[in-house]
Structure 1
């Protein structure tokens, strides 16, 4: 018998109301997901012929003062601001600035969410994302675009973090394995539709406008999205928690008896030996177990991000039609999402994540020995590598949510995301190093390191989400809790 989740017994594992909130969150996340998927179109390695005297219209000739760009695929940031030759590294900077913004946004929104609530942090990240993406389309100088790219990243960081946590905390324990995959619907929709948008619009500014302005309706989410009842209870807002849980129970056709007594009991448990009213990043390092979990999960997040974003950008450099390559890459994430749900239901957390990293590393190592003339096989191996990194990245979100207690859950996720952004930041520079075997080897080794680190984390499958630091520290083994042993 697994320990009962009191919230689930009151509002159901995932009823009509949670489905409605999930739908709103999924639609609202699309502007952020487009920004994660569009880099191969808006900041690519520009193709051109050099019109300088003596260059004889040679393709990709350097140095070149008068390039003639191939805009048949896309008018891009790279072509608008001549990010070629000695300015090529500026393209990597522009790509990486999104990751810097995500880093800052993860820290800011992690603190905001734990201190002032999941709702305000979620709303702010969704609305500002729309504003910043639209602003980037109006940039007239490269530095303006780079600054907007950073601001876009802050919104992406908040959206990735806060939307995930609020959905997890509104759901019951028994439904969490399904959410691990379902929460990725927004990214898959954004990724798979991006090539179509790029093909139709053929201009990076129009793409930015099309992926932002239509989503301005997210400002009305203030009246549609609730606060997390788990956060309300932990913060001692018992009256608000009772009102919200009663409302959700009514919407889900669940009985509303004993909600107040359940909230009282949950609040008392959350206050036992509690020293702080608010969690902070310092709490991640105050106690032995949490300190260990924090450092390991942070580095695993780095490995996930570095591998996924690096391989994602590398696919854009492969031979063949870029639209088809990206669509195929995106399509493979659908079975990947199904695998994530299956793994969350039937596999141990650590085994599933380690398997994903091993698949990533193995496919990349095979990539190195396959002749480049076999384009379909190299593309397949690259896509398999990206899929493995993607499933690991998705699963580490749930794993981290289960490892850390409510009082510092968002702070822990934000801290892990900081390291993920560092991994994402250096990925474009590894891709653009110019020596293929070096780039691929780095991604493969990083994936293997992450697999090894996961062995040192606790198993958390089927546990009830813990609320306080003391609950985490006093627990002999999370797996014992999953088996109902105290």
Structure 2
């Protein structure tokens, strides 16, 4: 297969039309991005005065059947609605973790829908399902109904994260892909920053859920605005539809359309030839020494990424001070991370930047343990630094994982790693809710530092020629493009 990206030659790296697609997706996925960050407002840790006769108006006393909650920050939350305190505290963790379980299921379900029926239908179904299930959760009358809906919200979140990213990648050229990771994060950061503003004015969790879902019902019209991925159409043998779509995009981007049919037929022919060579499976991740090592190490690394990021995200919501301001500062602090990620992907060694991100997260959280509770601003600052480290590591590890695995099992490897990321996010709330703050922080810090040390066993992938087969990976000695271009 040609080393050039023929689709990029036709429609360009990322022209006006791709920018329009990115804008639609960035706007449409806002309900998903709100759900990724709103747990600090939905299921917060709330102070209360126990009104039981035997408790003598004690603060945060357990057990307590008649709590009077502090409503100075949040008027009504899931915690208050169903009294998720004392012996019911584990239900608060379950409500938080159910979202991660749903993301795991959604990644598998929508991944199948996307491959089988098309990128567009999977993307739009996930976007609309998010709006529907979030709105329904706002009307939940029982805790178990809310928890079930949290699972379905999670499935839509998983589908949106997967399908929206894939469709952006497939509409962009190969040379633009290092920028896609940062570009796809813009919508998340905007939602993360605006969420506390919305929550400040709507201090009831039901109103917050409605406000961050129903206004986006317009995503159903995306079916007429977002075309099917030409790359998917070609792999499914729908060459005429692919030619029509590529011609429309090329015209919008001001590019020539003369040889589109020849290029599409060439790509289709190469695809048919390659598809006859068989496909990899999950078992191939463990059959050979290097694959086994890479898979086990990266599974743990992905778990740490999600565990640390989502854990610190929830921890910031529990820090002293103004909850809404803390979350806004946390969101704003991640913006420089987008530029760091782009620079790192283009110019720096992968292992150095990822290890640096993990060490930054681990050390800053370790320092957090020794900061006096009275120094609220310093405590918040180090928590945010830890979150920045986890965030940049999370973004970079995605690209690193695609480079280290051969083509025949790359998708399987990414799916396997994603499963462990969901496990990390799932257990994060339980670690946050342990009850002893320094123990929770120590767990997050230790896992991040161990993940950094494990990169000693992994190869550098910056400028490495991507392998196509497992045999190439097993026999590789990290020969870079620069070395390959040197004369013998």
TM-score, normalising length: structure 2: 0.91
Q: For residue 36 of structure 2, what is the aligned residue in structure 1?
A: 36
1:52 corresponds to 2:52: yes
**Contact 2:182 2:341 survives alignment (8 Å):** yes
Moved more, 3-12 or 432-441: 3-12
Q: Deviations over 1:26-71 (max 9, x none)?
A: 1111101101110001101121111111322221111111111112
**Contact 2:304 2:447 survives alignment (8 Å):** yes
1:117 corresponds to 2:118: yes
For residues 478 and 122 of structure 1, the distance between their equivalents in structure 2, rounded to whole angstroms, comes to 36
Q: For residue 144 of structure 1, what is the aligned residue in structure 2?
A: 145
For residues 160 and 454 of structure 2, the distance between their equivalents in structure 1, rounded to whole angstroms, comes to 27
Pair 1:420–1:265, CA change in 2 (3 A): same
The CA deviation at 1:363 is 0.7
TM-score, normalising length: structure 1: 0.91
The CA deviation at 1:95 is 0.5
**Secondary structure, in 3 states, of the residue corresponding to 2:68?**
strand
**Contact 1:119 1:228 survives alignment (8 Å):** yes
The CA deviation at 1:410 is 5.1
Q: For residue 189 of structure 1, what is the aligned residue in structure 2?
A: 190
For residues 5 and 119 of structure 2, the distance between their equivalents in structure 1, rounded to whole angstroms, comes to 20
The CA deviation at 1:341 is 1.7
Pair 1:216–1:485, CA change in 2 (3 A): farther
**Contact 1:13 1:174 survives alignment (8 Å):** yes
Pair 1:120–1:203, CA change in 2 (3 A): same
C-alpha RMSD of the superposition: 2.7
The CA deviation at 1:408 is 6.1
Pair 1:55–1:140, CA change in 2 (3 A): same
**Contact 2:371 2:379 survives alignment (8 Å):** yes
**Secondary structure, in 3 states, of the residue corresponding to 2:54?**
coil
**Secondary structure, in 3 states, of the residue corresponding to 2:49?**
strand
The CA deviation at 1:213 is 0.4
**Contact 1:109 1:162 survives alignment (8 Å):** yes
For residues 261 and 203 of structure 2, the distance between their equivalents in structure 1, rounded to whole angstroms, comes to 57
The CA deviation at 1:147 is 0.3
For residues 459 and 65 of structure 2, the distance between their equivalents in structure 1, rounded to whole angstroms, comes to 57
Moved more, 422-431 or 408-417: 408-417
Pair 1:484–1:262, CA change in 2 (3 A): farther
**Contact 2:280 2:412 survives alignment (8 Å):** yes
**Contact 1:114 1:278 survives alignment (8 Å):** no
Q: For residue 390 of structure 2, what is the aligned residue in structure 1?
A: 389
Q: Deviations over 1:154-176 (max 9, x none)?
A: 00011111111211121112222
Q: Deviations over 1:315-360 (max 9, x none)?
A: 1111111111111111101111121122122223332222211110
For residues 144 and 224 of structure 2, the distance between their equivalents in structure 1, rounded to whole angstroms, comes to 37
**Contact 2:405 2:473 survives alignment (8 Å):** no
1:363 corresponds to 2:364: yes
Pair 1:231–1:481, CA change in 2 (3 A): farther
Unaligned runs of 5+ in 2: none
Show the 5 A alignment for 1:211-290.
211-272=212-273, 274-275=275-276
1:76 corresponds to 2:77: yes
For residues 90 and 67 of structure 1, the distance between their equivalents in structure 2, rounded to whole angstroms, comes to 17
For residues 236 and 285 of structure 1, the distance between their equivalents in structure 2, rounded to whole angstroms, comes to 33
**Contact 1:460 1:482 survives alignment (8 Å):** no
For residues 204 and 366 of structure 1, the distance between their equivalents in structure 2, rounded to whole angstroms, comes to 34
Show the 5 A alignment for 1:342-357.
342-357=343-358
Unaligned runs of 5+ in 1: none
Q: Deviations over 1:362-398 (max 9, x none)?
A: 1112112222222211111110001110111122233
**Contact 2:465 2:479 survives alignment (8 Å):** no
Q: Which has the higher contact order (CA 8 A, sep 6+)?
A: 1
Q: What is the total number of aligned residue pairs between the two structures?
A: 484
For residues 236 and 275 of structure 2, the distance between their equivalents in structure 1, rounded to whole angstroms, comes to 11
The CA deviation at 1:270 is 3.6
1:174 corresponds to 2:175: yes
